[in-house]
Amino acid sequence: MDIHVLKFGGTSMNDHQTWKKVLEIIKSYEHPIVVVSATAKTTRQLIEAGELAGSGNLDAAREISASIHQRHLDLVKNFLDENPHAKNALILESCTLKLEQKIGFLNKLLSYCHKLNDLTPSLKDAIAAVGEQISSYLLAQCGLATDQLTQFVDAKKVIKTDLTYGNAKPNLGLINQKIESLITIMEGGFTPIIGGFYGEAQDGTTTTLGFEGSDYSASLIGGAVHATTIEIWTDVSGVFTSDPRYIKNATPLAELSYFDATEMAYFGSKVLHPSTLKPAQERNIPVLVKNMFKPEDTGTKIIRDSISDRDALAISFKDNMALLTISAYETVMGYNFLRKVFKVLEDHKITVDAVNTTEASVTIALTNSLDLDEFTKAFIEVGQVSVQNSKGLISIIGCNLSQSTDLTNSIFKPLKALPLDMISFSKEKRIINMVVNEDEMITSAQAIHDTLFG
């Protein structure tokens, strides 16, 4: 059985018209497994509702809950109106009951936040997952109105994780055991539709896989079923040389290696979740990035070995960065100082995007956060700390410095007199990272892109 795992993101799940396109794409496959995100902006609204309830404003939180309820009910009604079917009355009844059930559950969670005066990590995950639970059930029901045998599957039955709320680690052994339930559904002639992003810990609580975790869900499922392809259907025709929303003349890449695509995702590309490609890479499953609005476009194919003659593949960037420099108070043995610095990073689970070191100082670029003050204090015991906020990180991926003597000129000449706060290069990873002022990040990335890609 050639199984294709198809993942549709929030833009694809935006309204009844995009749902129709999604179902048309699904219908063109013989054995698909479908993974969907919440409808556009729903997850953001759910988190906002939880924060409001946790800060004492339960009425405002319930207003958001009511708006989510009404928007999804209207979506289903509009879909059924435009797709007449003998089963539509039953479909609407089923969708209405499920919506009432899930919104009732959401309101209970919001009440717990209100009583606790806090949005705890476990409650945040339970609340955030409601969006995918609703969208996957409703889409499966609407599929019946187009004569497709679509069947809702709760992701908690398949995606098993540890208890790290907000960024749960999948339990691959349990997932491989539970995946048989999807195979059974498909052998019966049905198409499983499952919500991405969330799963279940061993104690039965709901967990989430991190921001944009629906990609990761699709890859985990694809790896477990040994899929023929894992396909990420989005609103752009593949992975581009840079983010086309900000960089004019960015163009799609026909092919990428798992390695380069992962680095692009890690350093700011919004098309893929950074963890998406690991399960696919382990099984050597091609990952396709396709445009649901232009399904005829080739998109980008991500495979194990991709050979390129380009001087560089792409430019990614991240805003809201901070630059920390920790300098030893006095002359110390270099390894002892570095050990202390990296121990703080480990203790606080700090993810670093780029780093420069000397014997007595370390400069790290990392995403700014509410916890920045807290772990900055931890570094004070190690050395003198300076913090620079409002920074941006530009990353040039797939640099072939050994093949091109002009590449460094192509990168740095367009920046002219622009001050660079930090530069790092990894020959093995073929990445050049540069930290600049946040307000100069896009113009700088555009200048480099123009020189590298024309």
Could you list the pLDDT tens digit for every one of the 454 residues in the chain? 899 999 999 889 999 999 999 999 999 999 999 999 999 999 999 999 999 999 999 999 999 999 999 999 999 999 999 999 999 999 999 999 999 999 999 999 999 999 999 999 999 999 999 999 999 999 999 999 999 999 999 999 999 999 999 999 999 999 999 999 999 999 999 999 999 999 999 999 999 998 779 999 999 999 999 999 999 999 889 999 999 989 999 999 999 999 898 888 888 777 777 788 899 999 999 999 999 999 999 999 999 988 777 888 999 999 999 999 999 887 655 678 888 888 988 888 888 888 988 878 899 999 887 678 887 888 888 889 999 999 999 999 988 766 555 677 778 888 877 888 999 888 888 899 999 999 999 999 999 999 888 7
Are the C-beta atoms of 313 and 340 separated by less than 8 Å? no
Are the C-beta atoms of 371 and 324 separated by less than 8 Å? no
> Identical fold at 4-303 and 314-453?
no
Closest C-alpha among 300, 321, 313, 298 to residue 391 = 321
Burial of 272 (0-12, 13-18, 19+ CB in 10 A): buried
Query: What CATH number labels 314-453?
Result: 3.30.2130.10
Distance of CA 404 to the CA centre of its chain: 33
Are the C-beta atoms of 194 and 136 separated by less than 8 Å? yes
How far is 318 from 241, CA to CA, in rounded Å?
A: 15
So where are the chain's domains? 4-303, 314-453
Give residues with Cβ within 8 angstroms of 159, minimum separation 6: 170, 175, 198, 199, 200, 209, 217, 220, 221
Are the C-beta atoms of 285 and 228 separated by less than 8 Å? yes
Closest C-alpha among 418, 422, 442 to residue 432 = 422
Fold of 4-303: Carbamate kinase (3.40.1160)
What is the structure's pLDDT at 162? Answer: 97
Q: In what order do the strands lie in the sheet with 361-367?
A: 354-357, 361-367, 314-328, 383-397, 431-437, 422-426
